[in-house]
Each structure stands twice: as structure tokens, then as C-alpha cells.
Amino acid sequence: MSTKKIRTTDILKAKNQKKLVCTTCYDSIFAKVLQDSSSLDLVLVGDSLGHIVQGNHTTLDVTLENIIYHTKCVKNSLKTPLLVSDMPFLGMSTDTATLFENCQKILVAGAEAIKIEGHHPHLCDQISLLTGYGVPVMGHLGLTPQHIHSLGGYKKQGKTPKSSEILMDAAKRLEDAGCFGIVLELIDFEVSQKITESITIPTIGIGSGPYCDGQILVLHDLLGMNTEFTPSFLKLYETLHLKIDTALKTFAHEVQNEIFPPKT
Ligand code: KIV
């Protein structure tokens, strides 16, 4: 059981040494469970909270304030894994002062790094500026959910030679911009392998095959709490939905039949 604090430098050093284990978290009670389990390298306050916490169909409604709030909820109970928070949709303001202010708010809330979706040349310049000023940034390529409407739906990326070339180039540019890692989401397995082999920073895959340097799954998905989300890449490590259902039915039965609370 490791209690050593994991930092961005440890994530970088893990490349070709060990597979990185990552998940999401949005609240304090789960953060405590994750901390106690001591099995994670990196925890993400992802804008997937739009689905999991807010019940929305996309991540587009998630605000900077939401990310700040949930980062604060997680940070006090999570000590060892690196805590990364998402920059929400269009949080990368073109105004540098606002951009710095947004990043500062996320870091002051407790994040130790910021994940930024996309690879537009202007975005890579902004990432380069941020990393130059000491803001640790993790990239995110492939099926970037914030771009769901421009990508035309939730579908695998990198399936044509042209799109695979764009992704390879983007990964290199994010590395050059100073990212300490890149999430590869729903990318053709061969392409994510090529990306992983062509850059010196770790890749963290989700639905992108076994050749990435690490894997991330949304916590509530891997625990089997979200019965509506069953993509083929997901492995259920538990079926908590069923366990909670059984517990609640037992509670209801005992209250209705005056078994709980006991009379003596
Ligand atoms: O928002 C999120 O949780 C993510 C992960 C699925 C990588 O971006």
C-alpha cells in the first residue's frame, strides 16, 4: 500500500515503467474510498460530472463553478493520487488574463493539474503559455466529448489514414506544448498504439485499447452504477446498482413490517 504523494513528475516517469491507473471522482465520500484503496495514480474531476452528477446528455452545461465546487469536494479526502480537474467547455478564454484567472481558480480549488480537450493550433499555443507559467496540463484527444456536435456523435476516431495522421500530429504538438500526459478517448487501437510509441509522455486510454500507458474509466461506470451507459469498451468491476437496489428493498421491507428500528 503506497502512501507516497503522486505528482506530475511521477506520471511522466511512469512511461514504459508501469501502467497508470486512473478514475474519476466528484465528491468527498468516494474520494475517501479511493484514498483508502491506495490503488490509483491519478484521479480526475471530469466534466463527465455533467452526466453522472447532473444527469445531462452532454458535458456542455458543466461550468467553471461546477468544476471548482467538485474539486473542493474531492480534495480534502484525496491525498495520494494526482488530482486533475477538467477545464470546462470554452473555459480556454482567448483573453489571456481570463484564461489565467480560470486556471488559477481551478488550481486554488485543489487541482494539481488541468485537463484540456482538443488540439486546435491556437489551443496548443495557449497550453504552451500555461505550461511555461507553471500550470501542469494534461491533453485529451480523440472523441473529446466537449466537441460532440462538431465530431458528429460518439464514434471511434482515427479510423481513416487522414484522421489518424491528424491525431498523431496533435499528440506531438501537445507534447511539445509541455503536457505531462494525454488522454486518448475512443481512438482506433492501432492509432493509439502508434501515438503511445511516438511520444515521450504517457497516454491514458479510455476505449482506445491495451497499448496506452495507462487506463481511465469513469468511477460510476466501472462500479456498475450507471445502467444506461454500457459501451463495449466498459468492464463492470461491480454491479453496485443491483446491490443498492437490494439494500433499499430490504430497508423498505423492514420499515413497512416494523422490523427496523427494533422495539427493544
Ligand atoms: O470527463 C471525464 O471524466 C473524462 C474522462 C472520461 C477521461 O474526460
- Segments making up each domain of the chain, as ranges: 8-239
Three-class SS state of 239: coil
24 CB within 6 A, ligand 1: yes
The catalytic residue positions are 185
Mutate to test the pocket of ligand 1, among 52, 70, 182, 218 (most ligand atoms within 8 A of CB): 218
Which numbered atom of ligand 1 lies nearest the CA of 145? Answer: 8
User: Phi and psi (nearest 5°) for 212?
Assistant: -75, 165
Which of 1-10, 79-88, 133-142, 231-240 has the weakest average pLDDT?
Answer: 1-10
Q: CA 47 from chain center: how many Å? A: 8
Contact 183 CB / ligand 1 (< 6 Å): yes
- Helix ranges, the chain (H): 8-13, 28-37, 49-52, 64-75, 96-109, 121-132, 148-151, 161-176, 189-198, 219-222, 240-256
Q: Taking residues 7-19, what's their average pLDDT?
A: 98
CA distance 254 to 7: 48
- Contact assessment for residue 141 and residue 169, using Cβ atoms and an 8 Å cutoff: no
Give the pTM.
0.97
Question: How far away, in angstroms, is 49 Cα from ligand 1 center?
Answer: 9
Q: Give nearest CA residue, ligand 1 atom 3.
A: 46
Comparing 2 with 119, which gets the higher pLDDT? 119
State if residue 184 touches ligand 1 by the CB under 6 angstroms criterion: no
pLDDT 10s digits, 197-248: 999 999 999 999 999 999 999 999 999 998 888 999 999 999 999 999 999 9
Choose the residue to mutate in 143, 185, 187 for probing ligand 1, maximizing ligand atoms within 8 Å of C-beta: 185
| pLDDT tens digit sequence for 79-132 | 999 999 999 999 998 899 999 999 999 999 999 999 999 999 999 999 999 999
- The protein residue whose alpha carbon is closest to atom 2 in ligand 1 is 46
Residue with the larger pLDDT of the pair 123 and 3:
123
Percent of the chain whose pLDDT exceeds 90: 95
What average pLDDT score do residues 131-147 get?
A: 97
Q: Is 43 in the pocket of ligand 1 (CB under 6 A)?
A: no
Question: Is the pLDDT at 1 greater than 50, yes or no?
Answer: no
Domain 8-239 falls in which CATH fold? TIM Barrel (3.20.20)
The residue with greater pLDDT, 196 or 264, is: 196
**pLDDT on residue 2:** 61
